[in-house]
Amino acid sequence: MKKYILKTDENGNEITVADVHKVLLEMLKMIDGICRKYNIPYFLNGGSALGAVRHQGFIPWDDDADIAMLYEDYKRFIVALKQDLPEGYTFQCFDTDKRYNPLIPGMKIRKKGTYLKEVNTLLANRCTECDGIFIDVFVYDYCSASKTMDLPLRMLNQLIMPFIILFDNLGMNPLFLKRWFVSNARMYGKLNEGSKKIGFDLTWTFKSPLKPFIFDYDDIYPVQYVPFEDTQLPIAHHPHEYLCTAIAPSYMTLPPEEEQKPKHIVDIRL
């Protein structure tokens, strides 16, 4: 198997993507145990779901891991983490720390005693007590299939986004804008509660508002457990339909070899 080197330290020791996968797998197993205990449905998201289907584990060159859950389950997940998250981990989200930037995935679960610097410098981690290796938790919510109902609040958050980034990078914490941004997302989900459509909640603004990630509820739930490395983890109920939207209809085709490389990590310590 090809070795994807992330860093060579001063002693010549290499840190590879496979090394990161070992840590991420340990974290995924821990998260899965908590979610099973509290009956919280969740599923592998994006590239992690693709890895489960195409590679029965991590994509060999992928250097991160993502999970997702509905907002109603995410609220219970926060309570569960407060009670059961092991000592060696922490979690960061806007709900518990107003320094957190709600533009990034809804939550990051981090491993203490490690360090990871991401490529994206415009959305730096302001929760300074831990910069460890993390699992991204994406929040999904109910959506409208009607563009007339969908676009207004989605566009409003698209307009707020650059101002949050601007003030954040000026060293200010734009709490009013953050709260407005998050409340719009919660309002949108509430307005569409019970819809047969779900997708990334409106705090995820890094996709065209005209072509948002929206899925049929029944294509994701109930989730199913499939082989993933040396364990089993949950993916969408209909993975083909999910991946056609989340990735592309050609998701089973490997990218060109020159594109098979890690893309998220600038610096790392295990």
Q: What is the pLDDT of residues 167-202, one digit of tens each?
A: 999 999 999 999 999 999 999 999 999 999 999 999
Phi, psi for residue 6 in degrees, rounded to 5: -95, -35
What is the rounded radius of gyration, in angstroms, for the C-alpha atoms of the chain?
A: 18
Contact status, residue 229 vs residue 25, Cβ threshold 8 Å: yes
* Half-sphere exposure in the Cβ direction for 16 (13 Å, CA): 10
Q: Count the Cβ atoms, other than its own, within 10 Å of residue 53.
A: 19
CA 23 – CA 27 distance, rounded (Å) = 6
For the cut 90, the answer to whether the pLDDT of residue 11 exceeds it is no
- Alpha helices, H only, the chain: 17-37, 47-54, 71-84, 147-169, 175-191, 217-220, 239-246
Lookup: tokens for 173: 């914490």
Q: pLDDT-based confidence at 9, cuts 50/70/90?
A: confident
**Would you call the peptide bond into 227 cis, given omega within 30 degrees of 0 as the criterion?**
no
pLDDT in tens, 94-149: 999 999 999 999 999 999 999 999 998 788 899 988 999 999 999 999 999 998 98
Q: What is the pLDDT of residue 122?
A: 81
